[in-house]
Amino acid sequence: MLAVCTGRAGAQGGGVTASWGAQAIPAFTQTNIVPGNRSLGEARVVQPVAMLHAGALGGRLRFVGTLNFEKYTIPNGELAPGDWGESFEDRRHPHTLVHELMLVAPDLLGRLDGPVNLFVAAGKGFVPFGTDDPMSRPVVRYPVNHHWSQILERAVTLVGIRVGPATLEGALFNGDEPVSPGSWPKWDRFGDSWAARLTVIPFTGLETQGSYAFVKSPENRPGAGPNDDKVSVSARWARHPWYGHLEWARNSTASGAFIFHSVLAEGALTLPGHQPYVRFERTERPEEERVFASRFRTRRPLFENSILGITRWTVVTLGDAVDVLRGPIRGSPFVEGSWIGIARVGGGVFDPTVFYGRTHGASITFGIRLAAGMRMHRMGRYQPTPGTMDDMSSMPMP
């Protein structure tokens, strides 16, 4: 979503529009799913972002920029049992400082509201694959399937066409994932991976999508690691006061040597002054060799023989956010708790009972979502289409 629907702030003049926004979430998390059969609590500032959207030439050229400051607030990751990726395990990794830096031409045919629309976009950002970034959804806790259901922070060039309620997008990008919060895509690998997504909005409020991506050596920056074949299917309902989301994802690694599945369902209801929400997730993830100095980190570069087994994580999260500030700075205190179950899938030497000392546990998080300016946009949706403009999933709204 590029057009600013709420929280508009900035300047207009000379055919140029600009809007900004910012968000940060101070939070405390306590959990008993920790390597070594112990409990751990941590206070962190998570999801600190600043956004700038600009338009020129009557909306025919648009800029989307998002800075993510987790490089400074969670350099060692966010405590989140089950989350993994970019050498972090049971912690959600910090994202790169430059989260999005995209130029978009959304109206090549000169008729944005017409029955057919052609658009292109290029820069560093989201690949047209899978579902929305969890940062723009109600639950603060990132799902375990983050790396199965989104492909982000890549050098990407995409082209899309919208015909009535259907939008087809295709993209080329670099397969390598970031290796640190300050890293940029490996430019000589641009174009070694591709993705396509078909989105259909049959009527206002309902959005369905199916997508496929071939990602070359995502976990090995030089390109010598195994490839991923990714499939995602989802349906999303967003019409005040209800929000609902259902998705299924499959990831095949090393030509089918390892296959991972994920099912996720979440929903929220915006009531006067607060927003209760729920999420159910069942996701399989690889268990990789841990670094001796930190059992929350894994070795890199990753090869297929580094996978020691597969675990299935079942996570049920309940939460509620309350509106207490409705001025230039918006504030929504929240509390959310998760029940977590772990099961070993198939063979391998990894045993969660030995590593964690348990196969069931819980976590609880208290915090406050602080925001100013425009509300969080739907990252990765670079073409405004009917049904994507009225969004209420990210924060409680008056």
pLDDT in 10s for each residue of the chain, 398 residues: 333 333 444 444 458 899 999 999 999 999 999 999 999 999 999 999 999 999 998 888 999 999 999 999 999 999 999 999 999 999 999 999 999 999 999 988 877 777 899 999 999 999 999 999 999 999 999 999 999 999 999 999 999 999 999 999 999 999 999 999 999 999 999 999 999 999 999 999 999 999 999 999 998 899 988 999 999 999 999 999 999 999 999 999 989 999 999 999 999 999 999 999 999 999 999 998 888 668 898 877 665 567 889 999 999 999 999 999 888 999 999 999 999 999 999 888 999 999 999 999 999 999 999 999 998 889 889 886 543 433 434 433 33
Residue 311 CA: distances (Å) to CA of 53, 96, 394: 40, 27, 30
Residues 6 or more apart in contact with residue 293 via CB below 8 angstroms: none
pLDDT above 70: percentage of residues in the chain: 91
Residues 6 or more apart in contact with residue 188 via CB below 8 angstroms: none
At 85, which amino acid appears?
G
Q: CA dihedral defined by 294, 297, 302, 308, rounded to 10 degrees?
A: 80
**pLDDT score of 301:** 66
Own/partner contacts of 70-74, CB < 8 Å, gap of 24 or more, are: 70/46, 70/94, 70/95, 70/181, 71/96, 71/97, 71/181, 71/182, 72/48, 73/44, 73/45, 73/46, 73/48, 74/44, 74/45, 74/46
Q: Are strands 193-203 and 166-173 parallel, antiparallel or unpaired?
A: antiparallel
Residue 136: which of 383, 397, 345, 375 has the closest Cα? 375
Angle, vertex CA 34, rays to CA 302 and CA 73, nearest 5: 75
Residue 127: which of 200, 37, 191, 186 has the closest Cα? 191
SS3 203: strand
Residue 10 CA: distances (Å) to CA of 6, 16, 17, 18, 374: 12, 10, 7, 5, 10
Question: What gap in Å lies between CA 90 and CA 144, rounded to an integer?
Answer: 9
Average pLDDT of the chain to the nearest whole number? 90
Q: Where are the domains positioned within the chain?
A: 16-373
**pLDDT score of 391:** 41
**pLDDT score of 327:** 84
SS3 148: helix
**pLDDT score of 246:** 98
Q: What order of strands is seen across the sheet that includes strand 78-85?
A: 78-85, 88-92, 294-298, 290-291
CATH superfamily entry for domain 16-373 = Porin (2.40.160.10)
Task: Tell which phi-psi region holds residue 57, choosing left (phi > 0), alpha (psi between -120 and 50) or beta.
Answer: left
Give the side-chain half-sphere CA count within 13 A for 346.
Answer: 15
**pLDDT score of 383:** 81
Contact present, 374 and 7 (Cβ < 8 Å) = yes
Residue 307: which of 291, 331, 289, 322 has the closest Cα? 289
